[in-house]
Amino acid sequence: MSSNQVLSPQLIPWITAVLLLFTYRRVRWQRILSGVSAIVAVANAIYLLYCVLTNGTLVFWAGDWLPPFGITMVVDTFAAILVLLTALIGASCIFYSFSHIDMQREKYFYYFLIQMMLVGCNGAFIAGDIFNLYVWFEILLISSYVLLALGGEKKQLRETLTYVVLNVLASSFFLVGLGLLYAATGTLNMADLAIKLPQIENQSLINLISVIFLFVFGSKAAIFPLFYWLPHSYAQPPAAISAIFGGLLTKVGVYCLIRTFTLMFIGDSTFIYTLLFVLGILTMVLGGLGAICQYQFRKILSFHIISQVGYMLIGLAMHTTLTIAAAMYFMFHNIIVKTSLFYFAGATEEISGTGDLRQMGGLIHRFPVLAWGFFLGGVSLAGVPPFSGFFAKLLMLQGAAEIGQGWAMFFILAVGFLTLFSMIKIFMYCYWGQEKTLAVISTSGYRRKLISPWLLVMLSLVVGFASTPIIEVVLRAAAEISDPNLYIQAVFSKIN
């Protein structure tokens, strides 16, 4: 069934963005419009998820052009959950920004750029055509370039340059990959590709193309050895921006990896899955180790983004329904918790006026709400029950045990310790212990800043407590992903 509803998660931020352009001089209007649209987007995303769960995969054919010629947009359970999380994170970021972002940025299209980024994210999640995916990626990236550079501080510009260069490189490889794909099969519709790619005789060519796509999505998802840009560039901009980047952007890359390597590149699977597995393990371990030697608050968190992407990658690499479900659960958990931790980091840095852990100390005495909020987020990230992080790891361990991957189990547990170590390190240095005289520069409005992160931490707790129904949904999403025929049938349902 074709329905415009599929497009609704994109149209809402898009319409908002246009309205924001008209009112760009009035910060008050910008805030009201963004806030209202954020709430509408969340409500809409919940409804969309509900529809997908009751009616199955929804497909939209733009302008009534049928596949494989027209543009298709597909929402299955996986995409619907991610759309919901995008809306939630977008809303939390917008509300956090009200008390965090300075006037100068607000006047310079800040909210507009956030909305455009949400358009790009949602577009990437629901694109059913790989060239379309490229376009949404570009929308997302161009907004992210400007958001990173906005403010024009010297450090910020330096890191933005690295970020831009790497992403432009990856995008050009994306185009090369698309060209090869089109030359090999004559189509760019993902469902059509899923049919045609296994029929190609020269499967090593397909392997080559898949490695190009692995490079492209891998550099956006920050997997080993393409992660070097991430920790520095995410530590520079204001916390609201680095939170939405850390929570969402890398996950878009992971989403694309999961989508393409379960739908399209499944012909010669052992080679590519082994590669993914090794890269996943390396990403996990090096991300965790990288965090240990850091003393900058947000850099530690950024290294843990990398480490967690590794978990998702090995979930994909083991490619059973259970491990893919675990990878998805990990993504959802990580989006929520990581964003909240970045908000806590932002609030802490604003209070103490520095991002260096060694100069902070004893903030728990004066700011207990902040400190305990961070603590809960931190242990959730490390995987302590009853938070969502525990169930993510549990699912992953179950999946690995099912197919007898002892090494995977070992690394899942070992890197969990590294995460716990880093979180405790931040907690001990920054909040626990003697109060340092230098700390506490500005406390204005810090309570309002804690609303968004606390709600997200609570959400993580709820996801942990309600894990039975949520795991059911995730398993359903993974079952859909594991069977490409469902996707193909949904896309071509109007023709047959």
Partner 1 sequence: MKQEQQNSSSPNHAAKGNSLILHTSITYLVYIILLLAFFLFWHGHNAPGGGFIAGLISAAAIILLYLTFGSQWLHTTLTFDFKYLVAIGLSISLACGLAAVLLGKPFLTHTFTVLSISVLGEIELATATIFDLGVYCVVSGGCVVAITAIGESDRAKRRHGQQQTTTSDTNTPASSEP
The binding site for partner 1 (CB under 8 A) comprises 2, 4, 7, 11, 14-15, 17-18, 21-22, 24, 60-64, 154, 157
CA distance 369 to 351: 13
Q: Which is nearer to partner 1, 168 or 183 (CB)?
A: 168
Q: How far is CA 268 from CA 155, 199, 261, 404, in A?
A: 44, 12, 11, 22
Task: Count the helices and strands in the chain (H runs, E runs).
Answer: 22, 2
3-state secondary structure 291-323: HHCCCEHHHHHHHHHHHHHHHHHHHHHHCCHHH
Torsion of CA 219, 225, 229, 231, to 10 degrees: 110
CA distance 305 to 288: 9
Quickly list H helices, 366-405: 368-382, 388-402
Q: Which is nearer to partner 1, 13 or 389 (CB)?
A: 13
| Position 399, amino acid | G
Nearest to 414 by CA among 402, 434, 400: 400
CA distance 391 to 21: 43
CB of 161 to partner 1, least distance (A): 9
Q: Which is nearer to partner 1, 15 or 409 (CB)?
A: 15
CB of 62 to partner 1, least distance (A): 5
CB of 239 to partner 1, least distance (A): 25
Q: Burial code of 297-327, b = ≥16 C-beta within 10 A, e = fewer?
A: bbbbbbbbbbbbbbbbbbbbbbbbbbbbbbb
CB of 308 to partner 1, least distance (A): 34
Q: Which is nearer to partner 1, 152 or 225 (CB)?
A: 152
Long-range contacts of 442-445, Cβ-Cβ distance < 8 Å, separation of 24 or more = 442/350, 442/351, 442/353, 443/351, 443/367, 445/99
Report yes or no: 375 and 306 within 8 Å, Cβ to Cβ.
Answer: no
CB of 72 to partner 1, least distance (A): 11
Q: Which is nearer to partner 1, 11 or 39 (CB)?
A: 11
CB of 488 to partner 1, least distance (A): 20
CB of 61 to partner 1, least distance (A): 6
Q: Angle of helix 130-149 relative to helix 250-263, nearest 10 degrees? A: 170
CB of 165 to partner 1, least distance (A): 14
CB of 357 to partner 1, least distance (A): 29
Nearest to 191 by CA among 420, 487, 428: 487
- List Cβ neighbours of 125 (8 Å cut-off, separation of 6 or more): 79, 82, 83, 86, 252, 255
Which letter does DSSP use for residue 76 in this model? -
Q: Which is nearer to partner 1, 274 or 493 (CB)?
A: 493
Q: Which is nearer to partner 1, 63 or 469 (CB)?
A: 63
CB of 191 to partner 1, least distance (A): 17
Q: Which is nearer to partner 1, 3 or 482 (CB)?
A: 3
Q: Which is nearer to partner 1, 19 or 180 (CB)?
A: 19
Tokens of 383: 């995987």
Q: Which residues pair with 189 in a beta bridge?
A: 129
Q: Which is nearer to partner 1, 42 or 71 (CB)?
A: 71
CB of 255 to partner 1, least distance (A): 23
Q: Which is nearer to partner 1, 4 or 55 (CB)?
A: 4
Nearest to 71 by CA among 23, 26, 152, 135: 135
Identify the helix (H) or strand (E) that includes residue 265: none
Tokens of 354: 């520095």
